[in-house]
Structure 1
Amino acid sequence: MRLIQFVGPDGSRAIGVVDGNAVREVRGVDSIRELALRAIAENRSIDDQVLQLGVGASHDYDQLLSDGKVLPPIDHPDAAHVMVAGTGLTHMGSASSRSKMHQKASTGDEASMTDTERMFKWGLDGGKPASGTAGVQPEWFYKGDGSAIVAPGAPLDVPDFSDDVGEEPEIVGLYVVGEDSNPYRVGYAIGNEVTDHVMEKKNYLYLAHSKLRQCAFGPELFVGQLPDNIEGTARILRDGKPIWEKPFPTGEANMSHSIENIEFHHFKYNQFLRAGDVHAIFLGTSVASFGDGVRVEVGDTFEIDIPLFGRPLVNGTRSSSTLVKPGAVKSL
């Protein structure tokens, strides 16, 4: 099942089941978060909860997208109650980088490795433990709260202090914390975890800064179990024409960490278990145009397509000025 959140013709929010170009409105709820919390309370799956509520009016999906009415596939009435985070070094990467890392990792000589190579080796050795067992923790980073999420089709802001704006095409796990303080996976979506790669390359200790950029995911929520092997394609369009395009593999067959292990090492922190909160975890990527020497320009458009997840995620880019200038902080 695939679901979207959207704004209907009367201006009210709704959620719908995607069936080709038709979106069938789910009765009785206006958000996927509400749907998930009901499912938790009534001990049902998302699929069963939708079946129990039933569907009604049909909407034209193409029209909703062209009118900018499609929302991110999960949110919260208060953006501060959405945690957006991600993990790195979770995928095997491109053939060349994988070969280089494997070559060093196979020697077992950690003393000669960079920090990146060492962490990658730890994932290879212990990132996929038996179910119910904690493995090695992956790299983790914070991206922001719900205000950092841009709707499908909307432009991504490029701050005036940025050195770069680069796509990271990946899968996003979407979660709701129940009233019992347990995390529940609602589903998955296509994600673009935008990163300032030039800043990150200056020094890996700038990673935290480089990740504090807007991001996007959607337009659809995929409900169900993921196949082990998933194929997608990332593109950059300039003036409507592709300047870069590359397929990317994802899914656990192409990962050095299991999704269960990534989830555990996020939700093991008690401060992330506030009832009703929403979490979005970017699960890692295997390709980026920056690695191929592409320099994204403001005005370019990102397109990420994973057919399993329905429609592609498309976002443009635009310049943005920071609200705070040097010296703007005043003493009280």
Structure 2
Amino acid sequence: MLLSQVQRADGGVQAVVRDGAEAFEVAGGAPLYDIAMDCIAAGRGLRDGIAARGRGAAVDLARMEAEGRLLPPLLHPDPAHLHLTGTGLTHLGSAATRDAMHAAGGGDEPVTDSMKMFRMGVEGGKPDGDAAGVQPEWFYKGNGSVLAAPGAALPMPGFAEDGGEEPEIAGVYIIAPDGTPCRLGFALANEFSDHVMERRNYLYLAHSKLRPAAFGPELLVGDLPAHVEGISRIRRGNATLFEQPFLSGEANMSHSIANLEHHHFKYGLFRQPGDVHVHMFGTATLSFAAGLACADGDIFEIEAAPFGLPLRNVLRSAPAGAGRVAVRQL
């Protein structure tokens, strides 16, 4: 089952369900947030809750995309209560790019912190049973105010040194009234970042991640396949500048999904009832590693078969700021 959301003609948010080729409105006209909260209250799963509501009119998702009416598959009524976060160095092969970015150059260098953390994940990121494994790298990207809809622009701020894609899979969650994290499913994500700033100094990683992100357009309900094969592309006009496969799923990761979830939700801060979390699980594929500098108007395209429609966004460079941000004393 794939779930998505579109903007209705009256401006409202409509949940859409797809099994196979055809997509339909979820009857009742509610957004997915309300449907999921009702399922939690009723003590039933999302599939059963969707089935109980029934199907409405057919939806042409391709037309919705062309009209710019696709929305992220889950939103919160208050964007401040939607959290965008992620983990890095979680995929087999991801350490090589990061290690090269952060090595000082020359020979006989000490092992970088990136490589150390990656090796920790390989050795202890998939613990047996219910034990907690080694914690991964973690970062904060922002809240719902910087979430870009599928098809919309990913704005690169004027002070940024780079705007590059990161094709990832994200877990999508709602926190139940009792504080239990509830996973709705998984979606494609573009964890848009500033790799030049990050390479300048690893301690700038936090700054480099404070950028917009996108996920969707469709949400895969159920378990994440152990092996996921996708394609990441960058188009400039009629030319394809970059096209490279990416692998995800636990068979291609140094951490289990359960371990990554534990080390995010172990913090009570992230178990506040009603909040939405979009937690991105990392990647090993970057156009930046291939030497590409993305430019205004470039189109990012991420696709993988289990997730339905591709995730497309365009890079938009914001003008440089007027200078230092001034703080007014009250």
Same fold (TM over 0.5): yes
Change over 3 Å in CA distance of 1:20–1:161 after alignment to 2: same
Deviation at 1:21, TM superposition (A): 5.4
Kept in 1, the 8 Å contact 2:124–2:134? The answer is: yes
Return the alpha-carbon distance in structure 1 between the equivalents of residues 49 and 89 of structure 2.
36
CA contact (8 A) 2:83 2:142 kept: yes
Letter in 1 for 2:309: R
Structure 1 residues 130 and 10 mapped into 2: Cα distance closer, same or farther (>3 Å)? same
Q: CA deviation at 1:319?
A: 1.9
Amino acid at match of 2:314: G
5+ unaligned residues in a row in structure 1: which ranges? 101-110
The aligned counterpart of 2:158 is 160
- 8 A contact 1:299–1:317 mirrored in 2: yes
Contact 1:134–1:264 (CA<8 Å) still a contact in 2?
A: yes
Q: Equivalent residues in 2 for 1:131-170 (5 A)?
A: 131-170=129-168
> Residue 89 of structure 2 contacts residue 117 of structure 2 at CA under 8 Å; is this kept in 1?
yes
Deviations 1:276-313 (A, max 9, x none): 00000010001100001111111101000111100100
**Among 173, 176, 181, which residue is 2:174 paired with?**
176
* TM-score, structure 1 normalization: 0.93
Match of 2:279 in 1: 281
What letter is aligned with 1:208? A
Tell me which residue corresponds to 1:56: 56
- Alpha-carbon RMSD: 2.0
Count of aligned pairs between the two proteins: 322
Give me the TM-score of the superposition, normalised by structure 2: 0.93
Q: Is residue 2:47 matched to residue 1:47? A: yes
User: Partner of 2:198 in structure 1?
Assistant: 200
| CA displacement at 1:88 relative to structure 2 | 0.3
1:231 aligns with 2:204: no
Contact 1:91 1:256 in 2 (8 A): yes
Describe the SS at the equivalent of 2:283: coil
Structure 2 gap ranges (5+): 101-108
Give the secondary structure class of the aligned counterpart of 1:47: helix
The correspondence of residues 95-114 of structure 1 with structure 2, limited to 5 A, is 112-114=110-112
Find the aligned partners of 2:316 and 2:308 in 1 and give their Cα distance: 26
Question: Is residue 10 of structure 2 the alignment partner of residue 5 of structure 1?
Answer: no
Partner Cα separation in structure 2 for residue 74 and residue 84 of structure 1:
12
Residue number in structure 2 paired with 1:103:
none
Does the 8 Å CA contact 1:163/1:196 hold for their aligned counterparts? yes
Which letter maps to 1:316? V
Q: Tell me by how many angstroms 1:41 deviates.
A: 1.2
Please list the CA deviations of residues 165-217 of structure 1 after superposition, one character each: whole Å capped at 9, or x if unmatched. 00000101000000111100011100000010000000000000000111101
* Superposed displacement of residue 9, structure 1: 3.4
% identical aligned pairs: 49
AA aligned to 1:37 is M
- Mapped partners of 2:254, 2:177: distance in 1: 32
CA drift of 1:12 comes to: 2.6
Q: Any residues of structure 2 matched to 1:184-263 within 5 Å, and which? A: 184-263=182-261
Paired position in structure 2 for 1:16? 16
1:327, distance to aligned residue in structure 2 (A) = 4.9
Which secondary structure state, in structure 2, belongs to the residue aligned with residue 49 of structure 1? helix
Aligned mates of 1:168, 1:98 — CA distance in 2: 13
Change (3 A) 1:323 1:78: farther
Change (3 A) 1:182 1:323: farther
What SS class does the counterpart of residue 171 from structure 1 fall into? strand
1:11 Cα deviation from its structure 2 partner: 3.3
Moved more, 10-19 or 228-237: 10-19
**Closer/same/farther in 2, CA of residues 283 and 96 from structure 1, 3 Å limit:** closer
Residues 27-106 of structure 1 mapped to structure 2, 5 A cutoff: 27-93=27-93
8 Å contact 1:248–1:287 — kept in the other structure? yes
- Return 2-11 or 57-66, whichever deviates more: 2-11
Q: Which amino acid aligns with 1:126?
A: G
Q: Tell me: CA distance 1:95–1:123, structure 2 relative to 1, closer, same or farther (3 Å).
A: closer
Residue 245 of structure 1: SS of its match in structure 2? strand
Which of 301, 304, 309 is matched with 2:302 structurally?
A: 304
Is 1:21–1:62's contact at 8 Å kept on the other side of the alignment?
no
Displacement after TM superposition at 1:18 (Å): 2.0
Conserved? CA contact 2:94–2:283, under 8 Å: no
Q: Which amino acid aligns with 2:49?
A: Q
Task: Write the deviation string for residues 220-271 of structure 1: whole angstroms up to 9, x where unpaired.
Answer: 0110111111000000000132111000110000000000000000000011
